[in-house]
Chain A
Amino acid sequence: MPQPPFQAQAAPAAAPEAPDETLQLIAPDGTVTRPDRLPDPETRVRLYRHMRRVRHFDERAWVLYRTGRMGVFPPYGGMEASQVGTAAALTPDDWLFPTYRDTGAALTYGLPLEQTIAYWRTSPHGWAMPQNLKILPFYIPIATQYPQAVGAALAERRLGTRNVAMAYIGDGGSSEGDFHEALNFAGALNAPCVFILQNNGWAISVPTHTQTRARNLARRADGYGLPGVRVDGNDVLATYQVTREAVTRARNGEGPTLIETVTYRVKPHTVADDPSRYRSEADTAGWDAKDPLTRLRTHLLQEGLLTEEEDHAFAREIEAEFEAALRVADSFPEPTPAEIVDHVFAEPTPQLVRQRAQLLAEEQA
Chain B
Amino acid sequence: MMRHLISAADLTRDDAVLILDTAEEMARVADRPIKKLPALRGRTVCNLFFEDSTRTRISFEAAEKRLSADVINFAAKGSSVSKGESLKDTAQTLEAMGVDAVVIRHSASGAPYRLANSGWIDAPVINAGDGTHQHPTQALLDAFTMRRRLIGPDAGIGQGLDGRRVTIVGDILHSRVARSNVDLLHTLGAEVTLVAPPTLLPVGVDSWPCEVSYDLDATLPKTDAVMMLRVQRERMNAAFFPTEREYTRRYGLDAERLAKAPGHAIVMHPGPMVRGMEITAEVADSERCTVVEQVANGVHTRMAVLYLLLGGNEPAVSHSRTEENK
Please determine whether chains A and B interact with each other in the same assembly.
no
Chain A residues within CB distance 8 Å of chain B: none
